[in-house]
Every structure is written in structure tokens, then in C-alpha cells.
């Protein structure tokens, strides 16, 4: 009896076969759209002091920061051959050296997170806004959009997990195959019911669908915590950012134990078993690049949380937004403009009335 799942054959990375339109790209667009809608909803609920145009402008900067940071980290940190260090002009090129369209394969979440922070900090500095007023709203909105990004990874059949004998483990068609001569391969094959015809076979073994684990834990579960609790019970400014960063760091660190390390990088800190195959879970002390970056994220979140609780506390009766007074300024300005417009309309030259008056005078 075969105890595993097959990757759905009806799923294809391309939306329309033969055309360069992929589900992964569409999922990115949907992720940004969902985050934007939730951000707007929360802005209206809290009567945020910014206009729709200002919010859209901020959001564009945030998206650009995510894409730039994610692409830079994905190519310069996770690419093992140093290709992009040697030829950096291909980092933002959708074509390879032969001129073939390859898109933008390789995005790093942690790089995108840093890019988002840097871009929005610059925007808030330029436009003289308090960053926490915006960042907390983005933090409680983003995880649900992130879920769609991980579903895009699953549809692409990429970022699969480690080999597993769990009944929900899945055969990914593009995953690395292993020699049937390896004892551990024979053991897994027997456990899941794969028949080995020859010791020369290269076997595709079932793996954890780690993209779905991430979509659930780093996406849906984290969003529910932030949306249902944190956004309604904030006690200090920056709480949304702190809880999001801590929650993502912890869940990503855990899921990395089930996800195969990036090709070519392997374990960055193999403190458990340096000779362990990266496709199998052998030791909790073998750490991947994703775990190292997530650990730094956890430490940073805890330090920020302790500092923010002390220095950015929201006292009872205080407005939620630091820049709440700007809403009054905007209303006053709009009212002033409306009054000026009404005055101009009232004093507008009335031609028919003037002609009647001239006839009377004659």
C-alpha cells in the first residue's frame, strides 16, 4: 500500500501554457491586494489621519521596498555560486545571458522585510509622519496576504520540504532524486510502499509540503492572532510590528526543520551532524540560513518589544495615532477650500441678470 500523496497533476506554474504568466506572480498581486484592503479597512475603523492618496503612496513605497529587498537578498545571499555578485546587472533583469525570459526567480522573505522597513521609514521621514502609525496597521494586515505567496510557492512546485514518511507527505515532480543504493532511501521507500526495481534507480521520495505549513502558521494563524487580538488591544505603539516579527520568526524557525535547506547552501551551522543529508531531518542542532535569519528576527523583535513597551506606551484616553491632529488640520483645510469655492460660486458673474438690469436702466 502506497502511504503518500502525489502532487496534483492539474497544477501548473503557468496560468496559460506557453505564455510567461505564472500563478506565483498572480499570487503576489493578490497578496498585495488583500493586504491593501485590510489596511484600508483598519484605517477607516480607527479614523486614521491620512488621506486615500497618502495611503496609496505609502503602500507603493512599501511594495517597492519588499521587491527590492527580497530580490537583493534572494540573489546575493541565497544564490550559492556568487553569480549575481559577479554579474550584478542580472539581479533585476528578467532575462538570462542567452536572452531567454526567466522572470525574477529567487525572493527572500527576510530581505523583503528589511526592504519594507527601510522604504517606509524613508517615506515617513520625507512626509513627516510617525512610522508606528502606519507600521502597526501593515503588520496586522500583511500575514493573510503572505498566505497567498506561500500558496504560489506550492503551485510552482518549489521550496518543498524534507523527505518524510508521514501519510500527507507528497511527491514533488521537480524534487531531487536519490540513489536506491543509499540505505536510508531503501528504508523510506519500504515505509511508503515505493517498489525499487534496481539499485541503479534514482528515486523521488515523498516530502513535507512545507509551503502549506508556512501558509498556515506564518500566514493564517499569525494573522488571526494579530487581527482578532493585537489590533483591538494595543497597549503601546509598535506592538503590531513586535508581535508580527516575533510570531513570524518563531514559526519560520520551527517550519525550517521540515523544509529542505536551499540548494547549494545546506546547513550554515551543522552543529548536530555535519554529514547529515539536507533532505532528511537528523538533528535539531543543524541550522539553515532561514533559521539563522529568523533567530536574528526573534532577538530583534524581543529587544524592540521591551523597549517599545517602556517608551511608546499608549495611556488611557490618548489618541491611537501620534499624528492624530493632522486629521483635524485636513478637515479644516477641506472646509476652508469648500468655503472659498462657495464664495467664488456666489460671486460669479450672472450674465442674464445683468442684461435685465441694463434694460430697466434704459
Residues 203-212: pLDDT tens digits? Answer: 999 999 999 9
Q: Where are the alpha helices (DSSP H) in 222-314?
A: 222-228, 239-255, 289-311
How many Cβ atoms sit within 10 Å of the Cβ of residue 7?
Answer: 17
Q: What is the pLDDT of residues 226-282, one digit of tens each?
A: 999 999 999 999 999 999 999 999 999 999 999 999 877 899 999 999 988 899 999
% of the chain surpassing 90 pLDDT: 61
Q: Which domain holds residue 201?
A: 5-50+129-319
pLDDT at 189: 94
Q: What is the pLDDT of residues 156-170, one digit of tens each?
A: 888 899 999 999 999
Q: Calculate mean pLDDT across residues 61-84.
A: 89
Q: What is the pLDDT of residues 187-199, one digit of tens each?
A: 999 999 999 988 9
Q: What angle do CA 253, 306, 321 make, to 5 degrees?
A: 105
Does residue 178 lie within any of the structural domains?
A: yes
Query: In the structure, what pLDDT confidence band is assigned to residue 3 with cuts at 50, 70 and 90?
Result: low
Query: In the structure, what pLDDT confidence band is assigned to residue 109 with cuts at 50, 70 and 90?
Result: very high
Query: In the structure, what pLDDT confidence band is assigned to residue 139 with cuts at 50, 70 and 90?
Result: very high
Q: Which of 152, 151, 192 is nearest to 171 (CA)?
A: 192
Q: Calculate mean pLDDT across residues 330-359.
A: 48
SS3 for 196-209 is CCCCCCEECCCECC
98-102, 243-247, 273-277, 348-352: which has the minimum mean pLDDT?
348-352
pLDDT at 312: 94
Query: In the structure, what pLDDT confidence band is assigned to residue 328 with cuts at 50, 70 and 90?
Result: low
Does residue 166 lie within any of the structural domains?
A: yes
CA 40 – CA 57 distance, rounded (Å) = 13
Average of per-residue pLDDT values in the chain: 86
Paired sense of beta strands 202-203 and 5-6, if any: unpaired
Compute and round to an integer the Cα radius of gyration of the chain.
27
How many Cβ atoms sit within 10 Å of the Cβ of residue 345?
Answer: 8
pLDDT at 349: 46
pLDDT at 90: 78
Does residue 265 lie within any of the structural domains?
A: yes
pLDDT at 343: 45
pLDDT at 7: 84
Q: What Cα–Cα distance (Å) separates residue 257 from each residue in 88, 319, 321?
A: 32, 43, 39
Distance of CA 12 to the CA centre of its chain: 22
Q: Which of 179, 220, 182, 183 is nearest to 200 (CA)?
A: 179
Q: Calculate mean pLDDT across residues 103-116.
A: 86
Query: In the structure, what pLDDT confidence band is assigned to residue 103 with cuts at 50, 70 and 90?
Result: low
Does residue 344 lie within any of the structural domains?
A: no
pLDDT at 158: 87
pLDDT at 347: 44
Provide φ and ψ at 49, rounded to 5°.
-80, 10
Strand partners of residue 165: none
pLDDT at residue 356 tops 70: no
Contacts of 240 (CB under 8 A, 6+ apart): 135, 136, 137, 138, 139, 140, 226, 230, 231, 234
CA 210 – CA 231 distance, rounded (Å) = 28
Query: In the structure, what pLDDT confidence band is assigned to residue 355 with cuts at 50, 70 and 90?
Result: low
Does residue 228 lie within any of the structural domains?
A: yes
Which residue shows C-alpha cell 485636513? 330
Distance of CA 220 to the CA centre of its chain: 12
pLDDT at 79: 82
Q: Tell which phi-psi region holds residue 358, choosing left (phi > 0), alpha (psi between -120 and 50) or beta.
A: alpha
Query: In the structure, what pLDDT confidence band is assigned to residue 288 with cuts at 50, 70 and 90?
Result: very high
CA 113 – CA 91 distance, rounded (Å) = 18
pLDDT at 51: 94
pLDDT at 344: 47
Strand partners of residue 178: 203
Q: Calculate mean pLDDT across residues 88-98.
A: 79
pLDDT at residue 334 tops 50: no
Does residue 63 lie within any of the structural domains?
A: no
Does residue 87 lie within any of the structural domains?
A: no
Query: In the structure, what pLDDT confidence band is assigned to residue 19 with cuts at 50, 70 and 90?
Result: low
Tell me, what DSSP letter sits at residue 286?
E
pLDDT higher for 28 or 284?
A: 284
CA 292 – CA 253 distance, rounded (Å) = 8
Does residue 281 lie within any of the structural domains?
A: yes
Q: Which of 251, 298, 210, 268 is nearest to 77 (CA)?
A: 268
Query: What SS3 state is found at 136?
Result: helix
Q: Calculate mean pLDDT across residues 324-334.
A: 54
Counted domains in the chain: 1
Amino acid at each position: 500500500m502506497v502511504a503518500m500523496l502525489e502532487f496534483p497533476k492539474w497544477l501548473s506554474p503557468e496560468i496559460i501554457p506557453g505564455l510567461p504568466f505564472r500563478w506565483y506572480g498572480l499570487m503576489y498581486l493578490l497578496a498585495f491586494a488583500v493586504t491593501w484592503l485590510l489596511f484600508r479597512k483598519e484605517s477607516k475603523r480607527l479614523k486614521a489621519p491620512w488621506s486615500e492618496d497618502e495611503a496609496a503612496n505609502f503602500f507603493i513605497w512599501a511594495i517597492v521596498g519588499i521587491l527590492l529587498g527580497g530580490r537583493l537578498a534572494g540573489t546575493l545571499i541565497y544564490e550559492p555560486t556568487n553569480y549575481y555578485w559577479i554579474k550584478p546587472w542580472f539581479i533585476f533583469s528578467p532575462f538570462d545571458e542567452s536572452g531567454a525570459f526567466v522572470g525574477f526567480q529567487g525572493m527572500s522573505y527576510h530581505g523583503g522585510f528589511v526592504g519594507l522597513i527601510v522604504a517606509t521609514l524613508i517615506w515617513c521621514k520625507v512626509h513627516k509622519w510617525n512610522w508606528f502609525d502606519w507600521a502597526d496597521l501593515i503588520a496586522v494586515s500583511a500575514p493573510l496576504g503572505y498566505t497567498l505567496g506561500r500558496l504560489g510557492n506550492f503551485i510552482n512546485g518549489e521550496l518543498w520540504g524534507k523527505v518524510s514518511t508521514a501519510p500527507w507527505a507528497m511527491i514533488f515532480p521537480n524534487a531531487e532524486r536519490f540513489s536506491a543504493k543509499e540505505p536510508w532511501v531503501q528504508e523510506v521507500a519500504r515505509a511508503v510502499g515505493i517498489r525499487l526495481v534496481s539499485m541503479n534507480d534514482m528515486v523521488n521520495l515523498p516530502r513535507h509540503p512545507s509551503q502549506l505549513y508556512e501558509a498556515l502558521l506564518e500566514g493564517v494563524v499569525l494573522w488571526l492572532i494579530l487581527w482578532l487580538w493585537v489590533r483591538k488591544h494595543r497597549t503601546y505603539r509598535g506592538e503590531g510590528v513586535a508581535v508580527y516579527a516575533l510570531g513570524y520568526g518563531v514559526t519560520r524557525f520551527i517550519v525550517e526543520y521540515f523544509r529542505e535547506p536551499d540548494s547549494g547552501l545546506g546547513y550554515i551551522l551543522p552543529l548536530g551532524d555535519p554529514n547529515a543529508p539536507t533532505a532528511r531531518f537528523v538533528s535539531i542542532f543543524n541550522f539553515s540560513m532561514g533559521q539563522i535569519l529568523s533567530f536574528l528576527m526573534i532577538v530583534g523583535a524581543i529587544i524592540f518589544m521591551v523597549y517599545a513597551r517602556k517608551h511608546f506606551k499608549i495611556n488611557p484616553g490618548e489618541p491611537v495615532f501620534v499624528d492624530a491632529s493632522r486629521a483635524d488640520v485636513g478637515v479644516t483645510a477641506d472646509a476652508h477650500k469648500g468655503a472659498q469655492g462657495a464664495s467664488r460660486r456666489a460671486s460669479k458673474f450672472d450674465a442674464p441678470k445683468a442684461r435685465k438690469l441694463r434694460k430697466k436702466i434704459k
